[in-house]
Structure 1
Amino acid sequence: MRLTRRALTGGLTLGLATTSLAVGRAWSAEPLAPEPAVIRGEAKAGGRTVAYRAVAAETVLPGPDGAPEATLFSTAYFAEGEDAAARPVTFFFNGGPGAATIDLREGLAPVHTRNAAGRGFRLADNPDTLIDASDLVFVDPGGIGYSRFLKPGVAARYWGVDEDARAVADFIAIWLKANGREASPKYLVGESYAGIRVGMVAERMARLPEPVRFDGVVLVSPSTGTRGAKDLAAAADPAVRALPSQAATALYYGKSAHAGAEPAVLAEAARGWAEGDYARALAKGETISPALSAKVARELSGYLGLPEAQILAADLRIPMDRFIRELLAEREARIGLSDARAHAPYFVTDVQRPPYDDPSTSPYTLTYNLTEAVEHLYRQVFGYRPLGPYVRLSYEANGGWNHEVEGGPRAMPLVFKELMAADPDLRVSLMLGCYDLNIPYAGPLNEYLAADLPSDRFAHRLFEAGHSIFSDPVGRRQASADLRTFVQAG
């Protein structure tokens, strides 16, 4: 169908592209959850055309007394005309904690929002969707997105490491049974904090009386441990771990002494030096000689693009908050944490509340309000009638998150090591961006390598992208192809 041009309240103009969606609207006054809304369409993906059905719905979760307590909102995309039992299903989660699963849906759903000419947005078919290889389920955690609490005072049962894992595991179990997908190959994809979420969920579901096992887990720029978890890798110094990503960033801005190098290649060279000579120099502390300090400062200056004198004055450590402000200090601009290739003037970023002071977030990269665009997609295109607003990021959830874990802190690489030992079919893939200064890639890479996961079932790849790999046009295309191969290999 053709979506015509229209205006939202407040005068935002939408420039909408032609898509192949057939819209079916259905809702009721049901007090617990709106009736699911369904659309149908076609997508070109993986070299073929796939007819699909998409369902926006809230799944009601019971409390300890069995009474309805909360809903988790999800958007599920099903390929039509295929054997559902044999077809993979993949569950996606963004992080935060407290963030809706919006970046991954935008990156991999058959239709996503895009910048329009001038201001506003358009809906466009997504050439990088994974619908040809797997059914897709994008899930928002408790109190986020359109997920809601049905009783006062229950947020604490959802906002925490263990609490979140319980709710998500319950959702998956309910969803699989309701859709008759218990026998389907199953995958989890978690980005950022969801690197913890999917590990805790996989572990929890493997321990059920009737275990639910996953064929594969994909970790995108992941957090690697709960609060207090011990570092597995020897080179755990933050300055050492940050250097490879900072080196790629300085190269991007033409400030590196290694002009002409490939970003990922330079980043890996910097990682080798950082974990060797640099780490040993930092370990000397105050006993380091002036000659060695000068030598290390010269090397660092070549990688970081900052003056040697500045590095020496900082005792050979440039904290990340200084690096993002000082690399482009002559322009009076700071660079992005989520994607270091983005930058904006201080006078723009300094008046914004984190994380929106980051020039790589959507207020800087999009010509429209992403929350309003998502609300349009669900309310107008799907015809969904939510009973509350769309919460893209909950500061309340993030600030109130319970980071304590029953049994003590958990290192996710060791969690997956145990799961892979118990299940010889489980595979794990690690996707990292070299321009990610939020979770510099050397951290999760080193932690997972140190865990010594089975080499035939563990893979990792470094992309020329930031933290949200599937938000980057080139990174999305490459990572989507890798994800397709990963699922099809199972």
Structure 2
Amino acid sequence: MATLILTAGRSYAESADRYIEAESQVTTEHETKINGNRVRYSAEIGTQPVWDDEGGAVATLHYTYYKRSDVKDDTTRPLLISFNGGPGSASVWMHIAYTGPKILNIDDEGYPLQPYGIKSNPYSVLDVADIVYVNPVNTGYSRVLKDDKGELPSKDSQQKMFFGVNADIAYLAEWLNTFVTRKNRWRSPKYLIGESYGTTRVSGLALELQNSQWMYLNGVILVSPTDLGIERDGPVKIANRLPYFAATAWHHKLLKPEYQAMALEDFLPQVESFALNELMPAIAEGGFISEQKKQAVIQQVAAYSGLSEAAIAQNNLAVSTSYFWKELLRDESKTVGRLDSRYLGLDRQDSGSRPDYNAELTSWLHSFTPALNYYLREELNYKTDVKYNMFGPVHPWDRSNDTTGENLSKAMAANPFLNVMIQAGYYDGATNYFDAKYSMWQLDPSGKMKQRLSFKGYRSGHMMYLRREDLKTANDDIRTFIKASLPANDQPARYRR
């Protein structure tokens, strides 16, 4: 069953122009099985305006809202609000590969299969939470709107309104207020989940929603987080890469037998300890480190990273990630992926200091793009000639005044109910897992809130959920996080002495 409402602009028959309606809504009814149990749900897909201070529609955001239809009282049912990153990336990635009721037709390690398409997700968190996937301006079908004169705002005006760390957070908070009001979800426990740059977005939204919209959250989930404005330059930045290098080398079986014989989760803590306690101080000493100490550090970095001692020495211990992707399997004429180092690439020539392309991203786009376009049109019945932007035009992006990590910490301090979980793949070289751990430590340097902060690691990359084993585990971790962060009835939000 499907219903279609178009409430703004002209009908499709009245114009050959390609544009998106400022407001639209299509609802379909579905049924699936999650963890063996039957779940009935509705899928509402549509657009909702972004308004300026004068109440005029300046943009419209495309969303997909899944609501369990066999739950009659949603006042205590959680609402999970999902964003991807980029900036400039649509919500497609987590929508049809992670938490939603449908996932890509891919193999158990995440590689594309033909025919392209989707299948039921037996691990979706829709059993415990309703979910809305939001596309920020110029991603997915979301677009800037023309004014009454048929003109778009200038590029400068668009950037000030939408395309920057703080502008993005401000207009999305307003949009979410409207969405929650329209769907009558103010009493529901609310959670934000963001992936990659989406973690910057949801970290900032946690405080913005609290301070400007008076909307308090129960949880924030950071998937493959960015730096969140937390400083980690110099020796910290360099040393933090080594555990990721070690995980990748372990995966490709390039380490000593004693390391390869260890479970990855047992091996990595010793690499992390070395990175913090030996590599970081050695880098800080620079050219004034003793030759004996330098050689000892070089030998150990080589042993952990799978690179040669010569490569480590030639880079003065400061091996860049791009060099690592090119160098690790150079002798085999292969490169490893940036966002997921399990993926292999082929370069035009073996020499050079960085790969020609991102092996993993081409694989992902290979499978996501046709599946998403089919799914929205044929199964959710949303039809438009507007192109779905997997990556949309949002640059230049204003990254100034990024205090999103600090803002998340402030939101937690002011809201005793707010919990944070970080999820990261060990083979992610873009937002590596040890940087994610470091950011978690800096979110609460006092240790006063550390019981409300947790970290989960997975044997995969940036989109850990593409590997079927991690799809199950990561969704279970979200499910457990949501259940554990729901306060008991009549439990007050307060700190006690």
**Cα distance, 1:217–1:348 mapped onto 2, change above 3 Å:** farther
Q: Which amino acid aligns with 1:448?
A: M
The answer to whether structure 1 residue 56 and structure 2 residue 45 are counterparts is yes
Q: How does 1:60-75 map to 2 (within 5 A)?
A: 60-75=49-64
- 3-state secondary structure, aligned to 1:462: strand
- Counting matched residue pairs gives 452
**Could you say which residue in structure 2 is the equivalent of 1:88?**
78
Partner of 1:251: 250
Q: State how far apart, in whole Å, the 2-side matches of 1:223 and 1:310 are.
A: 28
Q: Could you say which residue in structure 2 is the equivalent of 1:26?
A: 4
Cα deviations by residue, 1:316-346 (Å, 9 ceiling, x for unpaired): 2211111000101012111011111111111
Distance 2:247 2:4 in 1: 50
Aligned-pair identity in percent equals 25
1:283 corresponding residue in structure 2:
284
Indicate which of 403, 414, 431 corresponds to 1:410.
403
Partner SS, residue 45 of structure 2: strand
Please give the alpha-carbon distance, in whole angstroms, between the structure 2 residues aligned to 1:126 and 1:348. 40
How much has 1:140 moved relative to structure 2?
A: 0.6
In structure 2, the residue corresponding to 1:281 is in which secondary structure? helix
> What is the distance in 2 between the residues matched to 1:119 and 1:458?
40
- Equivalent residue runs for 1:406-445 within 5 Å: 409-410=402-403, 412=405, 414-445=406-437
Q: Taking structure 1 as reference, are residues 274 and 235 closer, same or farther at Cα in structure 2, changes over 3 Å only? A: farther
Identify the residue that residue 119 of structure 1 maps to in structure 2: 114
Distance in 2 between the 1:101 and 1:236 partners?
Answer: 34
Matches within 5 A, 1:168-187: 168-187=172-191
SS in 1 for 2:24: coil
Contact residue 249 and residue 435 of structure 1 kept, 8 A: yes
Where do residues 63-462 of structure 1 align in structure 2 (5 Å cutoff)? 63-82=52-71, 83-106=73-96, 107-115=98-106, 119-151=114-146, 152-153=152-153, 154-156=157-159, 157-208=161-212, 211-226=214-229, 229-231=230-232, 237-257=236-256, 258-347=259-348, 357-361=357-361, 363-364=362-363, 368-386=366-384, 388-394=386-392, 396-397=393-394, 399-405=395-401, 409-410=402-403, 412=405, 414-452=406-444, 454-462=449-457
Q: Which moved more, 1:331-340 or 1:258-267?
A: 258-267
Where does the alignment leave 5 or more consecutive residues of structure 2 unmatched? Answer: 10-20, 147-151, 487-497
**Letter of the 2:252 counterpart:** Y
- Residue identity opposite 2:220 in structure 1: V
Q: Deviations over 1:5-56 (max 9, x none)?
A: xxxxxxxxxxxxxxxxxx5253548424363112211121144211000011
Q: Secondary structure at the match of 2:118?
A: strand
Is the deviation greater in 154-163 or in 94-103? 154-163
Distance 1:236 1:45 in 2: 45
Amino acid across the alignment from 2:103: H
SS of the aligned residue for 1:121 comes to coil
Is this contact kept in 1: 2:333–2:350, CA < 8 A?
no
Q: In the superposition, relative to structure 1, how do residues 139 and 236 fare at CA in structure 2: closer, same or farther (>3 Å)? A: farther
Q: 1:266, CA displacement in angstroms?
A: 1.8
1:441-470 Cα distance to aligned partner (Å, 9 max, x none):
111211221333512211112211211122
Q: Which amino acid aligns with 1:64?
A: D
2:101–2:126: 8 Å Cα contact kept in structure 1?
A: yes
Aligned partners of 2:326 and 2:355 also within 8 Å: no
Q: Which amino acid letter does the alignment assign opposite residue 217 of structure 2?
A: F
- 3-state SS of 2:58 partner: strand
CA spacing shift, 1:51–1:269, aligned 2, 3 Å: same
CA-CA distance at 1:400 after TM superposition: 1.2
Q: Deviations over 1:169-202 (max 9, x none)?
A: 1121111100111110100001111111011111
Letter matched to residue 138 of structure 2 = G
- TM-score, normalised by the number of residues in structure 2: 0.86
- Mapped to 1, the partners of 2:311 and 2:420 lie a distance apart of 41
Q: Distance in 2 between matches of 1:217 and 1:249?
A: 28
Query: 2 CA distance for matches of 1:112 and 1:451?
Result: 33
Distance 1:189 1:45 in 2: 20
Cα offset, 1:118, TM superposition? 6.3
User: Judging changes above 3 Å, is the alpha-carbon distance between structure 1 residues 33 and 385 closer, same or farther for their aligned structure 2 residues?
Assistant: farther
Tell me by how many angstroms 1:155 deviates: 2.7
Amino acid at match of 1:26: L
Which structure 1 segments of 5+ residues have no match?
1-22
RMSD: 2.3
Letter in 2 for 1:212: M
Give the Å deviation of 1:59: 0.7
Please tell me whether the aligned partners of residues 331 and 345 of structure 1 are also in contact (alpha carbons under 8 angstroms).
no
Match of 2:451, SS? coil
What is the TM-score normalised by the length of structure 1? 0.87
| Match in the other structure for 1:466 | 461
Q: Is the 8 A contact 1:220 1:430 kept in 2?
A: yes
Deviations 1:393-421 (A, max 9, x none): 12x31x3111123xxx4150x32222121
Deviation at 1:355, TM superposition (A): 11
Matched-pair contact (CA < 8 Å) for 1:264–1:464: no
Task: Look up the SS of the partner of 1:370 in the other structure.
Answer: helix
Alpha carbons of structure 1 residues 460 and 328: separation in structure 2 relative to 1, 3 Å: same
Contact 2:243–2:268 (8 Å) recurs in 1: yes
Give 3-state SS (helix, strand or coil) of 1:57's partner: strand
Q: Distance in 2 between matches of 1:62 and 1:349?
A: 52
SS of equivalent to 1:207: helix
